[in-house]
Copies of this chain bind each other. A is one copy, B any other.
Amino acid sequence: MSGVKTPIILVNFKTYIEATGDRALKLAEAASKVSLETGVCIGLAPQIADLRMVAQSVDLPVFAQHIDPIKPGSHTGHILPESVKSAGAVGTLINHSERRLKLADIDAAIARARELGLVTVVCANNASVSAASASLNPNMIAVEPPELIGTGIPVSKAKPEVVTNTIENVRRVNSEVTILCGAGITNGDDVSAAIKLGTEGVLVASGIVKAKDPYKVLSEFADAILRV
């Protein structure tokens, strides 16, 4: 997976104003610095409009936040997998809880990404949806209980059973997929807890993007990973 290695900290920029345009670039540079200093892999998922600019500016793996399960053609206003690939993405989120897809479209989006060599991170809201997603053979699964997203209440500490059930259910159908968790992750302890539960990384958004000093919090995340 082009530059992607585990454990990974995957930063979802969402459509936060703090991570739009020039501010996306600044955040990417902070992440790049942390990755260089610690050796920990940090993936970035900026908005589509900022994707090329971010990919050209830093040497980190860049992900789209979404692709549509389409081939080139008449699909005005949709996200063509080829377009994000050509803009420098090495992978993509699929089915984030804020951009859920129909099951057949998750299957088709994974197929299209695979065809183009894009790393797929399918997001899931619970253990059973994680297993269903894993059975479609993406590269990674990220389980995020939607009720914790953006709350600062870390899944890895508040709902560890969601994470362990996910790992258990996923492993029954897929022994290889990388498993991440997310939602409410805001400090190094939350990251350590996630890794100790058996995940290979975290998907994080507001915890980094809305931090006063993203560099500092990302450094703490990376250190937590190194210490586990």
Does A164 count as interface, using CB distance less than 8 angstroms?
no
A15 and B75 contact, CB distance less than 8 A: yes
Does A197 count as interface, using CB distance less than 8 angstroms?
no
Q: A87-B50, A172-B173 are in contact. Are A77 and B99 (CB under 8 A)?
A: yes
Does A165 count as interface, using CB distance less than 8 angstroms?
no
- Report the bound CA distance from A135 to B134 in whole Å: 10
| Interface positions of A from 81 to 96, Cβ below 8 Å from B | 82-84, 86-87, 93, 95-96
The interface residues of chain B lying within 8 Å CB-to-CB of A136 are 128-129, 132
Q: Of the candidates B93, B97, B98, B126, which one forms a contact with A78 in the assembled complex, judged by CB atoms under 8 Å apart? A: B98
Interface-lining segment among A103-111, A153-161, A186-194, A220-228 = A103-111
B52 and A14 contact, CB distance less than 8 A: no
When all copies of this chain in the complex are counted, the total is 4
A98 and B84 contact, CB distance less than 8 A: no
Does A139 count as interface, using CB distance less than 8 angstroms?
no
The interface residues of chain B lying within 8 Å CB-to-CB of A4 are none
B83 and A99 contact, CB distance less than 8 A: no
A86 and B20 contact, CB distance less than 8 A: yes
In whole Å, how far is A168's beta carbon from the nearest beta carbon of chain B? 13
A residues within 8 Å of B by Cβ?
12, 14-17, 20-22, 45, 47-53, 65-66, 70, 72-80, 82-84, 86-87, 93, 95-107, 124-126, 128-129, 131-133, 135-137, 149-150, 172-173, 205-206
